[in-house]
Amino acid sequence: MFSQFFSILISVIIGYSVILLVLPEIHKITGLFFRLFLSTGVGFGISSLLFFLWLLTFGSARNFAIAEILVSIILVAVVFINSRKNNFPISDYFLPKSLKNKKSNLILNICFWIILTAGVIYFLLIILNGTHGESDAFHIWNYRARFLFSAKDFYWLESIRDAFPGFRGDYPLLLPSVVAKNWTYSGNISQVSPMLSSMTFTFATIGLLVTSLSLLKSKNQGLIAGIVLLGTEFFLKKGAHQIADVPVSFYVLATIVLLYIYEKNKNLPGFLFLSGLTGGFAAWTKNEGLLFLTMVIVFRFIFALFLRPFKEMKREFLWFAAGLSFIAPIIIYFKFCIAPPNHIFHGQKSFKSLLNKLTDLSRYLKLIMAYLLYSLNYILGGILPLMLISFYTLFSGFKFKKDEKFIALCSVLIVISMLIGYGIVNIITPLGLDWQLKNIPRLLLHLWPAIIFIYFMAIKELNSSC
């Protein structure tokens, strides 16, 4: 088990080093933890890319652990030399001046830590009771990781191309690569790797949500948002099921958070670079991430041309594209040279059949009902949480700061366009619509942490409005 922990530690060190190279230091404890949670996802993403490139180059996973350790040592050395040369400034760039010395509510702190402890226990009970996760984890994600780890003489390429239909060979490889690369450290296949990876992604998402709101808004808002996410039983359950939906939600949240922070710190384009990186990792995790990445580009950069100067948008997009450029070529190569056709689009019988589905109003009615039903039952957890959120909104009210209005609008448009995109895919599915709609809760989960973040960035603190 120690070797698995060590593998994750190496990934975090790589991610943390990359973040240090593009952003200044933060002396606040919350800022340190923000970096740590963000570096978890960034490190996992980079490790998966390195592992994939290693397989493409050498055909097997042999000796990858040694190579990754060397990469981490080199990055740490570069960070050390660069910090001595450039003397990175200590920065409070997140915190509004009025909130720098504001302490969080003691009762709220106690409630958060109690609920977090309960969440960890609940997560462990689920994952220990089903160490192989749910069916998708066993038949898709962990199964693919076994192919990657056991690969010899490029056999893994044929395994992905020619596997049985339920294998979903066109799904990107971030999560299987992370699981498989952990196995290279221990030298054998065990369920410890997917269990640790899923737990890390789940609680890093919670940590990122809490710390980002604590830094950008207030500590109280961060704690309340964390309680809301911890109270989403479906989020913890799917995290423990070892599937890729929670990792996608991490990268969606991270991208939105980084874009928000940049709006408050336009002299630090490193945030745009990192948002390009995390947006690319979302696309490298699941096909739904490709839609998210596209919507980010459309609404944050192309749509913004109508609201902001072209020169400013060009400079910002180049920074975003710089981060994305590390991942985009790999995704393109995988999709066009390795992966089989996607079952949703390749499985269409004819254009007429597709058109009939798009014009069938009953399918849209089923879709809308599924969105409403699953949002209420799986994400919100019933009528009571919805009523509590409604009352909180009523008594608090919304307040958009001048530097938040643009990115708030872009973020809302991204979320809405994602829901529309998911809906269209469900409408045109060649599979049974009723069966396909059962995946709606997992699709909503991709956006839920980001929705919580956007909501609490817009809402005023209750005590500040009383």
Cβ-based neighbour number of residue 309 at 10 Å: 10
The band of 26, judged by pLDDT with boundaries at 50, 70 and 90, is low
Question: Which residues are CB-neighbours of 5 under 8 A, at least 6 positions away?
Answer: 196
Q: Classify residue 94: in a domain, yes or no.
A: no
Q: Classify residue 427: in a domain, yes or no.
A: yes
Q: Classify residue 95: in a domain, yes or no.
A: no
Tally of domains in the chain: 1
| Average of per-residue pLDDT across 25-52 | 89
- Cα distance between residue 448 and residue 428, in whole Å: 24
Cβ-based neighbour number of residue 67 at 10 Å: 13
Pick from 159, 199, 157: nearest CA to 179: 199
Q: Using one digit for the tens of pLDDT, what is the confidence trace for 280-334? A: 999 999 999 999 999 999 999 988 888 888 888 899 999 999 999 999 999 999 9
The reported pTM is 0.92
More confident residue, 145 or 320: 320
Share above pLDDT 70 across residues of the chain, in percent, rounded to a whole number: 88
- Cα distance between residue 173 and residue 195, in whole Å: 17
Range of the domain at 451: 2-86+103-465
Cβ-based neighbour number of residue 422 at 10 Å: 20
Convert the chain into a string of H (helix), E (strand) and C (coil). CHHHHHHHHHHHHHHHHHHHHHCCEECCHHHHHHHHHHHHHHHHHHHHHHHHHHHHHHCCCCCHHHHHHHHHHHHHHHHHHHHHHHCCCEECCCCCHHHCCCCCCHHHHHHHHHHHHHHHHHHHHHHHHCCCCCHHHHHHHHHHHHHHHCCCCCHHHHHHHHCCHHHCCCCCCHHHHHHHHHHHHHCCCCCHHHHHHHHHHHHHHHHHHHHHHHHHCCHHHHHHHHHHHHCCHHHHHHHHCCCCHHHHHHHHHHHHHHHHHHHHCCCCCHHHHHHHHHHHHHHHHCHHHHHHHHHHHHHHHHHHHHCCCHHHHHHHHHHHHHHHCCCHHHHHHHHHHHCCCCHHHHCCCCHHHHHHHHCCHHHHHHHHHHHHHHHHHHHCCCHHHHHHHHHHHHHHCECCCCCCHHHHHHHHHHHHHHHHHHHHHHHHCCCCHHHHHCCHHHHHHHHHHHHHHHHHHHECCHHHHC
How does 329-356 read in b/e, with b if 16+ C-beta sit within 10 Å? ebbeebbeebbeeebbeeeeeeeeeeee
Q: Could you identify the residue written with the tokens 């893994």? A: 156
Q: Using one digit for the tens of pLDDT, what is the confidence trace for 147-204? A: 888 877 666 676 666 555 556 678 899 999 999 999 999 888 988 999 999 999 999 9
pLDDT above 50 for 98: no
Q: Phi first, then psi: give them for residue 60, nearest 5 degrees.
A: -150, 170
CA quadruple 453, 454, 458, 462: dihedral sign: negative
> Which pLDDT score, from 0 to 100, does residue 244 have?
92
pLDDT above 60 for 93: no
Q: Using one digit for the tens of pLDDT, what is the confidence trace for 117-139? A: 999 999 999 999 988 888 788 77
Question: Which residues are CB-neighbours of 257 under 8 A, at least 6 positions away?
Answer: 208, 212, 216, 453
Q: Classify residue 96: in a domain, yes or no.
A: no
The residue type at 433: L
| Average of per-residue pLDDT across 245-268 | 93
The burial class, CB within 10 Å (0-12 / 13-18 / 19+), for 213 is: buried
Question: Which residues are CB-neighbours of 176 under 8 A, at least 6 positions away?
Answer: 141, 142, 144, 145, 147, 148
Question: Which residues are CB-neighbours of 255 under 8 A, at least 6 positions away?
Answer: 275, 278, 279, 282, 292, 296
